[in-house]
């Protein structure tokens, strides 16, 4: 089911191009000094650092929402236009972003290529294994600017910050 194995770690992939992409991460030489994440391409590190700092240079001309990466803006605009060019090979469901269809297809195939370095538990999505591994390490890279608290997950920091600001992005019906 996952015949393409990485010779440097326990990860396995259903497609060779996914393995090739993964192998480039082992050769990565661009390191984030905030969270120590490593990137094989400089432009990916730059976008990642913008994510930490909250800098968002790409703005939607329809709703003014901002994004750190151009491809995320492109995917966002597709939500306005209804365009969903990425189609699942198994059920024909369509998606605005390529990575979303890849993650969706893993539900059909059972592929879980992202393996925890500490307990070997596997995950379908990279961000899930990263969050899981922080449970092992105790790493809390997301620091509140308004108090001493720090969090393992960015979404937890966002929710915490709303306690300071009083922002309520959702309302009850």
In the CATH hierarchy, which fold is given to the domain comprising 4-139? Double Stranded RNA Binding Domain (3.30.160)
- Which CATH superfamily groups domain 141-173? Classic Zinc Finger (3.30.160.60)
Per-residue confidence in pLDDT tens, the chain, 173 aa? 678 888 777 777 778 887 877 777 666 677 888 877 777 778 888 888 877 777 778 889 999 888 878 888 998 999 899 999 999 999 999 998 888 999 999 999 999 988 898 898 999 888 899 899 999 999 898 888 899 999 998 889 989 998 888 887 776 76
Which pTM does this prediction carry? 0.55
For 49-88, give the DSSP string: HHHHHT---EE-TTT--EESSHHHHHHHHHHHHT---EE-
- Yes or no: say if 114 and 122 are a contact pair by the CB < 8 Å rule: yes
Domain with CATH 3.30.160.60 in the chain: 4-139, 141-173
Residues 6 or more apart whose Cβ sits within 8 Å of residue 169: 162
Provide the 10 A C-beta neighbour count for residue 47.
Answer: 20
């Amino acid at each position: 089911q996952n015949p393409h194995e990485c010779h440097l770690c326990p990860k396995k992939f259903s497609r060779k191009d996914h393995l090739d992409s993964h192998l480039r991460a082992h050769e990565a030489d661009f390191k984030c000094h905030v969270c120590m994440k490593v990137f094989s391409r400089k432009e990916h590190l730059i976008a990642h650092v913008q994510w930490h700092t909250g800098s968002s240079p790409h703005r939607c001309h329809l709703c003014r929402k901002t994004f750190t990466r151009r491809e995320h803006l492109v995917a966002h605009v597709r939500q306005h236009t209804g365009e969903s060019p990425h189609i699942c090979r198994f059920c024909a469901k369509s998606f605005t972003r390529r990575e979303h269809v890849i993650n969706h297809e893993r539900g059909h195939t059972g592929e879980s290529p992202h393996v925890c370095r500490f307990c070997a538990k596997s995950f379908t999505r990279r961000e899930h294994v990263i969050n899981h591994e922080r449970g092992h390490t105790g790493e809390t890279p997301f620091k509140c600017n308004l108090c001493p608290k720090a969090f393992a997950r960015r979404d937890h920091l966002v929710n915490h910050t709303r306690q300071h600001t009083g922002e309520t992005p959702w309302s009850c019906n």
